[in-house]
Amino acid sequence: MSLNIKIVLVEPLYQGNVGSVTRVMKNFGFSDIVLVNPCKLEGEARAMSSHAHDVLESARITSSLAEAVENASIVIGTTGITGLKHDEHTRMPYYTPRELKKKLTGMSGTVAILFGREDQGFNNNELGSCDMILTIPTSDVYQIMNLSHAAGIVLYELSDIKAGDKPLARGFDLRLLYEHMGELLEDIDYPVHKKDKTMLMFKRIFGRAELIPREVQTLRGVIRRIRRKIKGDTFYQPDDQ
């Protein structure tokens, strides 16, 4: 079994940066890259990719972030600006590349690591779609790194990661789990103004937990039972726990 690290560049502005990222990917043995609504990729991108033309030419291009990460078990968003309070779940809790390596060691599946726009990074909705947040510790004097430099540090740290036989749950099944949790919150009349923040907190918790398929199926089974009990539904449905 293997651990596939997929690099996703979201709306990169400069083709030179795209080429440089593919070059550093090849430096450290990575080749899976997806570009979401990228700039034009012409001669400069090819020149900056140097001997990584194959990585650049095999890049998959999508029109949405959702399409880019649809088969990923864990989606990790990178940011140079982290939260200041532990109850601000959009940018917290966060991990360094070294901490991420420890968490992913022994896993198998597909992990997507997202890098945002050079000028604006990610918006809160995009970060909210991520299961985990990754940041590179930098000087307080200037926290924001060049795109390819940041990618290089992350990929260097992950370059010798050891995969294992603990399978990560499929992204599709995780999305179903989140949908069912959202429906459960509606069933119990959870305050509307708190729902988004609570769902984001659940996503961060489960992202850190690195759920395996069996755990996701069990959680979904428990939620189904709770919803049937709330609705007084005694109709039997087989569990997949």
pLDDT for the residue 92: 58
pLDDT for the residue 88: 56
pLDDT for the residue 29: 96
pLDDT tens track for 191-228: 999 999 899 889 888 888 889 999 999 999 999 999 99
Domain that holds residue 180: 171-231
Handedness of CA 112, 97, 16, 25 (dihedral sign): negative
pLDDT for the residue 36: 98
Query: Would you state the structure tokens that stand for residue 109, as one six-digit string?
Result: 């599946």
| pLDDT higher at 137 or 233 | 137
Give mean pLDDT, residues 117-137: 91
Question: In the predicted model, is pLDDT for residue 1 greater than 80?
Answer: no
Indicate if 87 and 182 belong to the same structural domain: no
Of the residues 152, 167, 182, which one is the last residue of a structural domain?
167
Phi, psi of 159 (to 5 degrees): -65, -30
Is position 124 within any domain? Answer: yes
Indicate if 159 and 114 belong to the same structural domain: yes
The CATH number assigned to the domain holding 9 equals 3.40.1280.10
Indicate if 123 and 184 belong to the same structural domain: no
Indicate if 161 and 106 belong to the same structural domain: yes
pLDDT for the residue 208: 85
Instruction: Count the helices and strands in the chain (H runs, E runs).
Output: 10, 8
What's the rounded Cα separation, in Å, for the pair 43 and 215? 48
Indicate if 152 and 105 belong to the same structural domain: yes
Indicate if 61 and 179 belong to the same structural domain: no
Instruction: Domain count for the chain, please give it.
Output: 2
Angle between helix 213-231 and 171-187 (nearest 10): 20
Indicate if 63 and 7 belong to the same structural domain: yes
Neighbours of 7 (CB within 10 A): 23
Indicate if 138 and 205 belong to the same structural domain: no
Is position 236 within any domain? Answer: no
Give mean pLDDT, residues 12-19: 96
